A = this chain, B = another copy of it.
Amino acid sequence: MKCRKCGKTAIINLRHHNVAYCAEHFKEYFEKRVEMTIKKYSMFSRKDKILVAVSGGKDSTTVWFVLAKLGYKVSGMNIDVGTVPADVNKLKDFASSIGSELITVDSRELLEGLTVPEAAKIVKRPVCSVCGSVRRYIMNKVASENGFTVLVTGHNLDDEASFLLGNLLNWNLDYLRRQKPVLPATEEGFSKKAKPLVLLTEKETFTYAFINNLPFSEEICPYSKEATSLHYKHMLNEIELKHPGTKLRFYDGFQKANLFEDNMVVELKKCNVCGYPTTTDVCSFCRMKERLKSAVGEQKV
């Protein structure tokens, strides 16, 4: 297998594009594709102040690295929710190696001293669900308090295609409406959100991280066993093997079909307690905090 560009031995075969590349030209392809994705979906420009959610895994490390390399103004933020703590010193070293900075937040500061799994147990919700809402809340808070104009996550095509499949199998219309590569900022205070790796597969992202020697962790969250999205990923990979390009066609076709646009109007107001955008008087995060506060209070008494 030869590189389409230079004829050297290829290191990766992209069957969905019917092309193979050597390491050097794969890097070039990957970075161009990120740039194309940013433009295609009007994600952000070099004037924006971008905050990347950084877990220490391959996807977030890659998107952080590639945006810095492409000349975007980017900072990383790591949130310790008490499940898989990242090696913060390693992340700080990485940040300075790419000329970026790292912001760290410990979710215990906002959750009455509890980790996400502890809080989930008290409010009787799945860990993944609490983790998601805590992360969203903190990211939005840090972004709006520090003048960041865009929140970036490292979701890749495999992530998005498997969410999409799960949302279609169960017709979760609310999730389907919001499943976009970019969500605009809202008047009520939600930051703009973007996923620049959304047209790149897990395999492509992993390969890019690997050949750039990015220091990523492969530790898997012990709670992810709960996630049926892993099962959907596996299914999509099986189809992709037989019909290369299915994942991309599936995700891109969904965006083009644009079926859920009309009903997107949801009345939002500011939470009475913290000012976070919400549909109710007090946002779900503050209501959870209230429950945690009384639970922790009872334990102390």
Q: Using CB atoms and an 8 Å cutoff, list the residues of chain A in contact with chain B.
A: 168-171, 173, 228, 231, 235, 238-239, 242-243, 246, 249-250, 253-254, 256-257, 259-260
Contacts and interface: CB of A to CB of B under 8 A. Distances in A.
Nearest to A243: B228
Given A239-B231, A239-B235, A250 B169 contact: yes
Given A168-B168, A171-B249, A259-B259, 11 more contacts: A168-B250, A169-B249, A169-B250, A170-B246, A170-B250, A170-B253, A171-B257, A228-B243, A231-B238, A231-B239, A235-B235
Tell me the interface secondary structure of chain A in the complex: helix
Contact of A256 (B171, B249, B250, B260): B171
Contact of A246 (B169, B173, B250, B256): B169
Q: What is the oligomeric copy number?
A: 2
A72 to B, nearest CB: 31
A233 to B, nearest CB: 12
Shortest 10 CB-CB contacts between residues of A and residues of B: A171-B253, A169-B250, A259-B259, A235-B235, A171-B257, A168-B168, A169-B246, A170-B249, A173-B257, A171-B254
Contacts of A256: 171
A158 B218 CA distance: 38
A210 to B, nearest CB: 29
A233 B169 CA distance: 13
A235 to B, nearest CB: 5
B231 A242 contact: yes
A239 to B, nearest CB: 7
Contact of A238 (B235, B243, B250): B235
Contacts of A243: 228
A242 B227 CA distance: 12
A168 B246 CA distance: 11
A168 B238 CA distance: 16
Nearest to A245: B170
A253 B174 CA distance: 13
A81 B256 CA distance: 38
Interface centre among A171, A235, A257 (most CB of B within 10 A): A171
A18 to B, nearest CB: 18
Contacts of A260: 259
Contacts of A259: 259-260
A238 B246 CA distance: 19
Nearest to A253: B171
Nearest to A232: B239
Contacts of A257: 171, 173
A280 to B, nearest CB: 26
